[in-house]
Amino acid sequence: MIDKLDADIEHLRKLFVFPESQDRFLEFGKQILDMMYNSFKQKGGLHSSITLDELSSLFSDISIPRDPKLLRDIFPEIQNKIAAHSVKVYSPYYIGHMTSAIPYFTILIEMIVSSLNQNQVKIETAKASTYVERELLCWIHRLIYRKNPRFYKETIQNHRVALGNVTSDGTMANLTAMLVARNLLFKEDGRFPGIASAGLAEAYNHYNCEKTVLLMSKRGHYSFDKIADLCGIGDNNIIKIPVENGTNKIDINVLTKELNSIEDYNNNHEKKIKILSLIGIAGTTETGNIDNLYEMNKLAKKHKTRFHVDAAWGGPVLFVEDYAHLFKGIEEADSVTFDSHKLLYLPLSMGMVLFNSEKDLQSLEHTTQYVVRRDSRDQGRFTIEGSRPFAALRPWVALKVIGSEGFRLLFEKAFTISSYFKTQIDLHSNFESLNEPELFIFNYRFIPNRIKKHLESLMSDKSEASLKQVTRINNELNALNIQLHREIRNNDLSFVSRTVIESTKYSPDEIVVLRAVTINPLTTNSIIKEIIAEHNRLGLRIFNKSWKKKFKNIT
């Protein structure tokens, strides 16, 4: 028996020995590349034709595998069950989500990240990688805040301060920013030890606070609902400000009124409403539009509250000097969220949060004896997460390979494509565009020509009866576009997403829109043309088949 065990453990130990002869390793590598290449080049749809129920039955083994197997015996399973049924997010026809193509050298970078396997929580498990992370955070901080070089020379590797954190994603970056805001708002004060130690209920008592609110536009990311839940302020206390007509940017007038009314309330009440932060959005998830950060920041300063910018989507576009005006005011924000798996075109997932003040993160400091010692160089002192991979290597290398100039070109290309998309839709008789794309996200819908014209005349009329009719038509168009979206999915030659927004010219009607995110550098004008033609063909087919009569009754 012992012999057998020894033999087996020897097999297992060999798995941990870095192969001296790399032939077999490279052979496996080649197999993986072949597998990927074959999946990528496969003709046909963006998804396999398998139904979700069929697919789920492939992964319904409730037992953990007992005996060891050879990797080569598992490859076919990975190929046939997983790779074959993955979503081709890298296709230039997949323009529905923020997950897009990645440059292929990043696959090589992942090999380095995993084989070094540094744990960023602590310098004892992350030596050079600690400094790489700090250098990267400095670069991104400077891209956003543009402080003078002396500031960066003094802070880049000064372990007593932190320009920001690397996080697992944008949600965690936003959470970090809100937690810092909360802990500073209810900080240590005399005998009150601060909210981190005393908890929120005592903090409210000490600071005579009735509730804490967060203000952002209706376009704000749903992660803030989770965050308001998490950090104890409650998601009912997010004040969602409408957007200005047609622009998808926060309505500054409504925001101003809201802030003034909070001030009025506080002047007339014993218990106060505290403001956690204003949240500006630089690239809303649904429409890609950017709030008026300049005005928001002025309001934040006037009302002595913090200003956070969620630039998880749009941040990298700061590389384009010509578009910097869109972001004006971001350099005054207290904190900014910036994702690397979106517009830095890197594999999932990594976020960053940058703080205007290099001292803000000290409000989160937690230390222990065995890990993350105070006064150490451990990056884990300031992070919500504990163990973290050396994900910072990805953007660090990508910024060197692509360069800020390269990113500028990629974004200019993406701007061109989304402008082309909008122009083509505007010229098309059977479609309607529903937002002004600023950051490569475009909303539109299918609407047969005759109905479009009818709707236009009703809209210009503006009588109550007409507007009622507009709503009725929009309801039908919503159903039509939901069906169209399903048909696009079934046809499977292209992929766009869909959502519902209230901020179109038909406001307050809620409009179902198709949503295209055109950032893949391999997506071309002619592919956009193909996609529009396909959607038109599918739209007309279902319209003629099942909607013509319905619309006759209401138009």
Binding residues for a copy of itself restricted to 215-274, rule: CB under 8 A? 221-223, 225-226, 228-237
Give bridge partners of residue 354 from the DSSP assignment: 164, 336
The binder of a copy of itself chosen from 521, 534, 540, 542 (CB under 8 A): 521
Instruction: State the first-to-last Cα distance of the chain, in angstroms, to the nearest integer.
Output: 84
Antiparallel, parallel or unpaired: β 209-217 and 431-433? unpaired
Query: Any contact of residue 541 with a copy of itself (CB under 8 A)?
Result: no
| Stretch of 12-20, 323-331, 421-429, 470-478 contacting a copy of itself, by CB under 8 A | 12-20
Query: Any contact of residue 18 with a copy of itself (CB under 8 A)?
Result: yes
CA 439 – CA 411 distance, rounded (Å): 9
The binder of a copy of itself chosen from 43, 304, 325, 400 (CB under 8 A): 400
Do the beta carbons of residue 96 and residue 497 sit within 8 Å? yes
Identify residues 344-363 at the interface with a copy of itself (CB under 8 A).
345, 347-349
Closest CB to a copy of itself among residues 383, 469 = 383
Closest CB to a copy of itself among residues 328, 413 = 413
Identify residues 21-40 at the interface with a copy of itself (CB under 8 A).
22, 25-26, 28-30, 32-37, 40
SS3 403: helix
CA 17 – CA 36 distance, rounded (Å): 26
Query: Any contact of residue 377 with a copy of itself (CB under 8 A)?
Result: yes
Query: Any contact of residue 276 with a copy of itself (CB under 8 A)?
Result: no
Closest CB to a copy of itself among residues 108, 554 = 108
Half-sphere exposure of 258 (CA within 13 A, CB side): 22
Contacts for 477 with CB less than 8 Å, ≥ 6 apart? 445, 447, 451, 511, 512
C-alpha separations of 437 from 248, 256, 358 in Å? 10, 26, 34
> Which has the closest alpha carbon to 46: 100, 107, 102?
100
How many other CB atoms are there within 10 angstroms of residue 325's CB atom?
8
The binder of a copy of itself chosen from 129, 292, 435, 474 (CB under 8 A): 129
Closest CB to a copy of itself among residues 349, 466 = 349
CA 348 – CA 366 distance, rounded (Å): 27
Contacts for 93 with CB less than 8 Å, ≥ 6 apart? 46, 493, 494, 495, 523, 527, 531
| Stretch of 301-309, 337-345, 428-436, 543-551 contacting a copy of itself, by CB under 8 A | 337-345
R_g over Cα of the chain: 27
| Stretch of 119-127, 417-425, 446-454, 456-464 contacting a copy of itself, by CB under 8 A | 119-127
Closest CB to a copy of itself among residues 349, 419 = 349
Closest CB to a copy of itself among residues 241, 417 = 417
In the chain, count H helices and then E strands: 18, 11
**Which DSSP letter does residue 234 get?**
-
Task: Tell me how far, at minimum, the Cβ of 550 lies from a copy of itself, in Å.
Answer: 24
Torsion of CA 314, 318, 322, 323, to 10 degrees: 30
Residue 144 has phi, psi (to 5 degrees) of: -85, -50
Query: Any contact of residue 135 with a copy of itself (CB under 8 A)?
Result: yes
Identify residues 58-117 at the interface with a copy of itself (CB under 8 A).
58-71, 74, 77-78, 81-87, 89-90, 96-97, 99, 101-108, 110-117
Closest CB to a copy of itself among residues 350, 470 = 350
Closest CB to a copy of itself among residues 244, 286 = 286
Query: Any contact of residue 372 with a copy of itself (CB under 8 A)?
Result: yes
Query: Any contact of residue 429 with a copy of itself (CB under 8 A)?
Result: no
In the numeric block, which tokens belong to residue 516? 């295209």
C-alpha separations of 512 from 264, 350, 509 in Å? 38, 31, 10
| Stretch of 291-299, 449-457, 466-474, 513-521 contacting a copy of itself, by CB under 8 A | 513-521
Closest CB to a copy of itself among residues 175, 300 = 175
| Stretch of 168-176, 242-250, 429-437, 538-546 contacting a copy of itself, by CB under 8 A | 168-176
Task: Tell me how far, at minimum, the Cβ of 157 lies from a copy of itself, in Å.
Answer: 4
SS3 432: strand
Task: Tell me how far, at minimum, the Cβ of 540 lies from a copy of itself, in Å.
Answer: 25
Query: Any contact of residue 172 with a copy of itself (CB under 8 A)?
Result: yes
Query: Any contact of residue 487 with a copy of itself (CB under 8 A)?
Result: no
Give bridge partners of residue 189 from the DSSP assignment: 192
Identify residues 147-166 at the interface with a copy of itself (CB under 8 A).
149, 152-153, 156-157
The binder of a copy of itself chosen from 201, 479, 482, 533 (CB under 8 A): 201
Closest CB to a copy of itself among residues 112, 533 = 112
Closest CB to a copy of itself among residues 416, 423 = 416
Residue 482 has phi, psi (to 5 degrees) of: -65, -45
Residue span 278-297 as binding mask against a copy of itself, x where in contact by CB under 8 A, dash where not: -------xx-----------
Give bridge partners of residue 432 from the DSSP assignment: 445
The position carrying tokens 């939901």 is 482
Closest CB to a copy of itself among residues 440, 543 = 440
Query: Any contact of residue 506 with a copy of itself (CB under 8 A)?
Result: no
Give bridge partners of residue 501 from the DSSP assignment: 511
The binder of a copy of itself chosen from 419, 497, 536, 555 (CB under 8 A): 497
The b/e string for 380-396 (b: 16+ C-beta within 10 A; e otherwise) is bbbbeeeebbbbbbbbb
CA 16 – CA 9 distance, rounded (Å): 11
Query: Any contact of residue 531 with a copy of itself (CB under 8 A)?
Result: no
The binder of a copy of itself chosen from 197, 245, 544, 546 (CB under 8 A): 197
How large is the angle between the packed helices 525-542 and 464-491, nearest 10 degrees?
A: 110
Task: Tell me how far, at minimum, the Cβ of 104 lies from a copy of itself, in Å.
Answer: 6
| Stretch of 2-10, 447-455, 470-478, 537-545 contacting a copy of itself, by CB under 8 A | 2-10
Do the beta carbons of residue 509 and residue 529 sit within 8 Å? no
> Which has the closest alpha carbon to 365: 347, 378, 351?
378
